[in-house]
Amino acid sequence: MKHSFLVLLTFIFSLSAFAGNNNDLFGVKTIVIDAGHGGHDGGCQGSQSQEKHVALSIALKLGKYIEDNFKDVKVIYTRTTDVYLKLWERAAIANKANADLFICVHANANDNKKALGTETYVMGLHKSEANLNVAKRENSSILLEEDYKTQYSDFDPNSPESYIVLTLRQNAFLDQSLSFASKIQEQFTEKVGRKNRGVKQAGFLVLHQTNMPSVLIETGFLTNLEEEKFLISNIGQDYMASAVFRAFRDYKLEIEEKTRVENVVEDVKEEEEIKEVIKEEVVDKKEKNKKKENEVGIVFKVQIATSSIKKELTPANFNGVENVALYEAGGLYRYTVGNERNITDANRLQLQLKEKGFTDAFIVAFKDGERISLSEAISQ
Ligand SMILES: [Zn+2]
């Protein structure tokens, strides 16, 4: 009897958690698709193609797939025609829209005409010269911007040192970006039969200022005759766009599912304990008022667990971690650590907590005690 009561209770909690997903804090609701290059920036060249056209065709097809299949997702394009945009303008569009995901579509080139395959980049320090070279080529678009020295604080696309400072801001989204990137590569390889060159990291200027998970897709080599033929064909572009669409679908599901049942602690509680929780609520409210002072303004915390039934905030319940705090959202109890004033400190704390076994720990943001999106917090 007790058991069925709990099942019912969990069911109700799950339902309300699901309803909470309509809140854009807890889902993938706005995405920005960025077709690389455009206008007088043609990108790389094939024997009969220009990167800017290939990128735009695939980007538009991808957007259409998402619009047709997800009525709850708003798709924003940085460009829908052959126009020139500066790299910083592309990131600014995504930040302004408070997007949940930023997808840049490009095509590759190499002096070695035999090079072929797809690679998906996330922001990070390059591990090989080849990755750096791709970033350098894509970043060289800024040389077409008359004021690039002021816009990118003297960034020199050809100097390796310039790349080290780029990666910081995107660190907070690295896990999500990597997850999406690997889904894209998997789809390209398994469903479209492209050669998998892997998920890679390098310093792309277009990614370094975005406040959300971001990837840059190199859909293939225009300098490879076979691959160029595929990438400029209508069917080839359809295949590539649908592959990214499926990766997006799986990523969205993963993020929203994760938010709903993140680390759900499957504690079997007795009814007595649930009554106990109700008593605690009263004490909790008093505590809350006390805490208010250090919650004024923007605060970053690291979320380590979620449960449908309230857990006591003792270190024993959280692998020995002290000062765990609690907030409620979407019908679930969410446990956090820290009260950091900037994202760098929150990143550091997240790493420490991962080392303590909370491998899925992620950063959440609050403004005056109310949960807000991470991108909103970072942009303030
Ligand atoms: Zn490009």
Q: pLDDT digits over 209-258, tens only? A: 888 999 999 999 999 999 999 999 999 999 999 999 999 999 999 988 87
Strands 362-367 and 332-340: unpaired
Query: Using 50, 70 and 90 to split pLDDT, how confident is the model at 168?
Result: low
Helix, strand, coil percentages in the chain from 3-state DSSP, rounded to 5: 50, 20, 30
Looking at the structure of the chain, the number of domains it has is 2
| Distance of CA 138 from the midpoint of ligand 1 (Å) | 5
The predicted model scores a pTM of 0.70
Helix and strand totals (H; E) in the chain = 12, 11
Same domain, yes or no: 242 and 280? no
For residues 262 and 376, give the distance between their C-alpha atoms in angstroms, rounded to a whole number.
22
CA atoms within 13 A on the CB side of 279: 6
- Domain boundary (239, 259, 279) is at 259
- The fraction of the chain above a pLDDT of 90, given in percent, is 45
Please list, in sequence order, all residues whose beta carbon lies within 8 angstroms of the beta carbon of residue 95, skipping any fewer than 6 positions away: 209, 210, 211, 212, 375, 379
Note whether residue 264 is domain-resident: no
2-60 confidence digits (pLDDT tens): 444 343 333 333 333 333 333 345 689 999 999 999 999 999 999 999 999 999 999 99
What is the structure's pLDDT at 281? 52
Note whether residue 265 is domain-resident: no
Same domain, yes or no: 227 and 325? no
Note whether residue 249 is domain-resident: yes
Same domain, yes or no: 67 and 21? yes
Question: Which of 9, 12, 11 has its CA nearest to residue 271?
Answer: 9
| Distance of CA 131 from the midpoint of ligand 1 (Å) | 13
| Distance of CA 374 from the midpoint of ligand 1 (Å) | 28
Tokens coding 330 = 């979407």
Question: DSSP string spanning 227-275?
Answer: HHHHHHSHHHHHHHHHHHHHHHHHHHHHHHHHHHHTT-------HHHHH
Same domain, yes or no: 280 and 174? no
For residues 179 and 156, give the distance between their C-alpha atoms in angstroms, rounded to a whole number.
30
Same domain, yes or no: 236 and 344? no
For residues 353 and 12, give the distance between their C-alpha atoms in angstroms, rounded to a whole number.
31
Long-range contacts of 226-229 (CB under 8 A, 24+ apart): 226/116, 227/116, 227/117, 228/46, 228/47, 228/48, 228/49
- Residue whose structure tokens are 């979407």: 330
Same domain, yes or no: 237 and 356? no
| Distance of CA 36 from the midpoint of ligand 1 (Å) | 5
- Domain boundary (259, 294, 314) is at 259
Note whether residue 123 is domain-resident: yes
Q: Picking from 49-53, 101-105, 186-190, 371-375, which range would have the lowest pLDDT averaged per residue?
A: 371-375
What is the structure's pLDDT at 25? 57
Strand ranges for the chain from DSSP E? 30-35, 74-77, 101-108, 118-123, 196-202, 214-221, 298-307, 324-329, 332-340, 362-367, 370-372
Same domain, yes or no: 308 and 216? no
| Distance of CA 341 from the midpoint of ligand 1 (Å) | 36
Region 94-121: mean pLDDT is 96
Please list, in sequence order, all residues whose beta carbon lies within 8 angstroms of the beta carbon of residue 363, skipping any fewer than 6 positions away: 172, 300, 301, 302, 303, 343, 346, 347, 350, 374
Note whether residue 160 is domain-resident: yes
Note whether residue 9 is domain-resident: yes
For residues 55 and 43, give the distance between their C-alpha atoms in angstroms, rounded to a whole number.
9
| Distance of CA 107 from the midpoint of ligand 1 (Å) | 6
* SS3 readout for 45-66: ECCCCEHHHHHHHHHHHHHHHH
For residues 23 and 274, give the distance between their C-alpha atoms in angstroms, rounded to a whole number.
27
Tokens coding 9 = 């209770």
What is the structure's pLDDT at 318? 87
In the structure, ligand 1 is a single-atom ion and the residues with CB under 5 Å from it are 36, 43, 106, 138
Same domain, yes or no: 247 and 308? no
What is the structure's pLDDT at 197? 95
Domain residues for the domain of 342 are 271-378
Average pLDDT over all residues of the chain = 82
| Distance of CA 37 from the midpoint of ligand 1 (Å) | 6
Same domain, yes or no: 246 and 371? no
- Domain boundary (231, 259, 287) is at 259
| Distance of CA 235 from the midpoint of ligand 1 (Å) | 21
Q: What is the CATH number of the domain that holds 302?
A: 3.30.70.1070
Tokens coding 207 = 């990614």
| Distance of CA 114 from the midpoint of ligand 1 (Å) | 19
Q: How far is residue 14 from each of residues 120, 260, 278, measured CA to CA in Å?
A: 35, 8, 19
Region 86-112: mean pLDDT is 95
Same domain, yes or no: 247 and 324? no
Q: Which run of H or of E encompasses 294?
A: none
280-335 confidence digits (pLDDT tens): 554 455 555 555 566 788 899 999 888 878 888 988 888 889 899 998 877 788 89
Helix (H, G, I), strand (E, B) or coil at 214: strand
- Residue whose structure tokens are 């009554």: 275
* Residue 109 predicted with pLDDT over 60: yes
| Distance of CA 106 from the midpoint of ligand 1 (Å) | 4
Same domain, yes or no: 53 and 87? yes
Note whether residue 302 is domain-resident: yes
Same domain, yes or no: 206 and 301? no
| Distance of CA 42 from the midpoint of ligand 1 (Å) | 9
| Distance of CA 336 from the midpoint of ligand 1 (Å) | 40
Note whether residue 266 is domain-resident: no
Task: Tell me how far the alpha carbon of residue 65 is from its chain's centroid.
Answer: 20
| Distance of CA 165 from the midpoint of ligand 1 (Å) | 21
| Distance of CA 52 from the midpoint of ligand 1 (Å) | 7
For residues 12 and 9, give the distance between their C-alpha atoms in angstroms, rounded to a whole number.
5
What is the structure's pLDDT at 319? 85
Strands 298-307 and 324-329: unpaired
Q: What is the CATH number of the domain that holds 95?
A: 3.40.630.40
